[in-house]
Structure 1
Amino acid sequence: MQKRSAGSARRSMFSDFGWALLPFVFLVSFWVLLRESGLINPTLLPSPLAVSKVFWANLTEGELLANIRMSVQRVVLGLLLGMLVAVPVGFLVGWYKPVRRFVDPLINFFRALPPIALIPLVIVYLGIGEVAKIAILFYASFFAAVIVMYEGMTQISPVYIRVARTLGATDFEIFTKVMLPMTVPHMLTALRVALGVAWATLVASELVAAQQGLGAMIQNASAFFDLGTIYLGIICIGALALGMDLLLRRISKRLVAWQDKVEG
């Protein structure tokens, strides 16, 4: 029985991997067909093979790994700082209606501002060092996460709170034993949303005089019309964001498995 279950698990894993790989096969095929169709000048659209050669050259002789490490470091730090502030603010706004009425317009106002528009002010107040880059990623992560957090809290059924009060629970017990566990899925969703926004903001953050990073690599390549390196940078950002998101999905499934059992 154990051998059968292990075999079926292995087949399921390969099947999932195949389905995940299939869209990218179609994407690369479309890329090749578009280049060979003559609709676009071939000099303006490097082939997948040419990009793979650029990848290998940057990996073995260039600074690709250093750029990846620097970008991941910035994204993770900005994301963690943003979540560190967004979670308590989301709880506060979601728990107290007067606070929500006061803060909601401000949050939506700043959330609508693109981080790239704030770069001149960030440079004026924070300079051009790492702090400025992290601040832009923090800004993007915080406002993306806090919206998901407090919107999720407001959607929790008040029945749970009323039942807890009927059983004599205090506000602290309701918060720690009812609200906190039920907001774990929303925290994880907020983390995933903030992660995507942070990666989308990376290039903007690295406009601030960055010497290393995937965004800096793309900008330097654009100055020399090096399309292969530009495509490589874009693919690396997408691949890293996808990999981190898949990791968060797996963690989320384990952490909220209890919720599926309760609903079932």
Structure 2
Amino acid sequence: MAMTAVTVPDTPTPTPRRRRARGPVRGIALNVIAVVLGLGIWTLLSRSGIQGLTGPVDVAVRGAELIADGTLPADILASLRRVFTGFALGTALAVPVGFLMGWYGTARGLIEPYVQFFRTIPPLAIIPLAILLMGIGETPKIFVIFLAAFLSSVVATFQGVMDVDKTLINAARVLGASDRVIFLKVVVPASTPFIIVGMRIGLGAAWGTLVAAELIAAQEGLGYRMQQAQLYYDLPTIFVGLISIGVLGLAMDRLLLLAERRLTGWQERR
């Protein structure tokens, strides 16, 4: 009996563009699932009898009240202004200092001991000194946030310059490139991923320092509001402050990730 060959149609291979399109959609779906699961676990814990733990509904109601009377928007703007100013100043100084340390051995020998010394001192420990030297205005608050962002970013930038593949630098020299061209065309692009990582770590450090910074005679801000709520055992307000800081920090981090993708489009990704 003759055998009839069965032809199996080829399964279409997803194109790179289609795979790239699926990635963000899948990531967003997983993020939504994670948020829903988190809210569900929070609700179960609040109803399980844990003393004092408030639930998502109470927090949402309190958040709506703070938005309606203008308290939360004012606190968010005050905290954003402090974090953004300190973070921007810290990063703006950290990048050139990190490049100097990585590119010039003399600058590295002069600056690195101070960077490593201050890295061992928590920025929060600087607060008493900042109050004595700078008063109780906005300056000491911004300064401690600046210090937290600077120390994280400068080390990452320095490490990025040190880790540039020497083969690339030597190849550029063989082709006749000057030190200036090598620095701008080889070192800076190769260091950019490290700089972005340092900025992300510095951003987290800036938000982490915010609450303590706003203890310095602040009259508004998310940290200040949480401290006031603690005095009256106002847990919903504390949760509103925590969630606001988390959401704002996450949004700023995602903006840095977007900038990284724009600036490092040449880099191979998984």
Q: TM-score, normalised by structure 2?
A: 0.88
Equivalent in the alignment of 1:85: 93
Any residues of structure 2 matched to 1:96-245 within 5 Å, and which?
Answer: 96-245=104-253
Q: Secondary structure at the match of 1:29?
A: helix
Larger Rg: 2
Separation of aligned partners in 2, 1:170 and 1:7: 42
Q: Provide the rounded CA distance (Å) in 2 between the counterparts of 1:138 and 1:18.
A: 36
Higher share of residues assigned helix? 1
Q: Distance in 2 between matches of 1:171 and 1:7?
A: 42
Runs of 4+ residues deviating >4 angstroms: 6-14
Whether 2:30 is the aligned partner of 1:19: answer yes
Counterpart CA distance in 2 for 1:110 and 1:26 is 40
Q: Which amino acid aligns with 2:91?
A: M
What does residue 45 of structure 2 align with? 34
2:108 and 2:86 map into 1 onto residues whose CA distance is: 25
When the two chains are superposed, the root-mean-square deviation of aligned CA atoms in Å is 2.2
- Structure 1 vs Structure 2: percent identity of aligned residues? 41
How far apart in 2 are the matches of 1:108 and 1:26? Answer: 41
Unaligned runs of 5+ in 1: 1-5
Is the alpha carbon distance of 1:47 and 1:104 closer, same or farther for their aligned partners in structure 2, counting shifts above 3 Å?
Answer: same
1:71-82 aligned within 5 A: 71-82=79-90
SS of alignment partner, residue 257 of structure 1:
coil
In structure 1, what is the equivalent of residue 53 of structure 2? 45
How far, CA to CA, are the matches of 2:171 and 2:20 in structure 1? Answer: 41
Deviation by residue 1:152-177 (Cα, 9 ceiling, x = unmatched): 11111111111111112221121122
Asked if the contact 1:93–1:150 (Cα under 8 Å) also holds between the matched residues in 2, the reply is yes
> How far 1:194 sits from its partner (Å)?
1.1
Letter in 1 for 2:27: D
Once residues 116 and 24 of structure 2 are traced to their aligned partners in structure 1, the CA distance between those partners, rounded to angstroms, is: 41
**Aligned counterpart, 1:3:** none
CA distance in 2, matches of 1:240, 1:186: 23
| Residues 1:93 and 1:227: Cα distance change in structure 2 (over 3 Å) | same
Aligned partners of 2:55, 2:23: CA distance in 1, in Å?
33
